[in-house]
Amino acid sequence: MNPPINPPINYETMFRLDGKIALLVGGGSGIGEAGAEALAANGAHVVVADLNFEHAERTVQTITSRGYSTESVHLDLTDPSSVQSVVADIVKKHGHLDIGISSPSINIRKPLLEYTLEEFERVLRVNMGGTFNLLQSAGRVMADQGRGSLIAFSSVRSLVVEPGQSVYAATKAGTLQLLRGLASELGAKGVRANAIGPGVIDTPLTEPIRKNAEWYDAYAQKTVFGRWGKPFELAGAVVYLASDASSYVTGTILFVDGGWTSMDGRFTPPL
């Protein structure tokens, strides 16, 4: 009988990111902040990038206080030259870039027929254009070095939509398709590209909903847990997709939505 084949990975360390360099854009608050802290705690050196440099610095201070490796940088995701410059500086300083993550998004909630062209272009510029800028700049580096993990935040809105969410939902579906296309193009070069699909998460982006008790509760009840998620509950997905634990995962979306996309309606029928 042939001897068993041992897996070429240590299960005790498969989620570890020691020696990895990660660029996380939007790390100054919310889901990005939690992701940055989790990556650093698992051994990565995290470059926390944000349009608001003070917020990035605050995240870095938190990570540093826990004894982990990090640095902050100002980055405008909608400016290709800003993204290219930051990526180039990381490679020059550290020699490689292993993880690239785009988390920022904006949302203008209003009926499609009331959207102005400026509003439409603004949402696309941040959510799609910004993600494109990071995926392209970081993807080129990773393709050349023959390894890397690219992650961007999509949403449950990539699958389901409600009134006032047409444009935002379109960008989230588009983000997923960008990643799927990139996964097909860069897989042979050792680069993976995946999306994370949050449900309702308490972040600055959802602040308007929090101010409306009826609206907030309706969303909570749409989940199987009857509550909103917290940013830290996305951190595990970030680490998983960044690490060797997901070495055979690419071109897909990992929903972290409290069962939102598995529920049919908001009424529980008598059984």
Residue 241: name the closest of 230, 252, 232, 233 by CA.
252
State the catalytic residue, choosing from 168, 216, 219, 240.
Answer: 168
**Which are the contacts of 142, defined by CB distance < 8 A and separation ≥ 6?**
97, 98, 100, 148, 150, 186, 189, 190, 191
3-state helix, strand, coil in the chain (%, to 5): 50, 15, 35
Separation between Cα atoms, residue 101 and residue 93, nearest integer Å? 19
Q: Are strands 148-153 and 45-50 parallel, antiparallel or unpaired?
A: unpaired
Q: Which two tokens stand for residue 176?
A: 């997923």
Task: Decide if 40 contacts 69 (C-beta within 8 A).
Answer: yes
Separation between Cα atoms, residue 266 and residue 260, nearest integer Å? 10
Could you give the 3-state DSSP secondary structure of residue 138? helix
Could you give the 3-state DSSP secondary structure of residue 163? coil
Separation between Cα atoms, residue 27 and residue 54, nearest integer Å? 11
Q: Is 248 a catalytic residue?
A: no
Separation between Cα atoms, residue 11 and residue 109, nearest integer Å? 44
Q: Tell me the catalytic residues.
A: 168
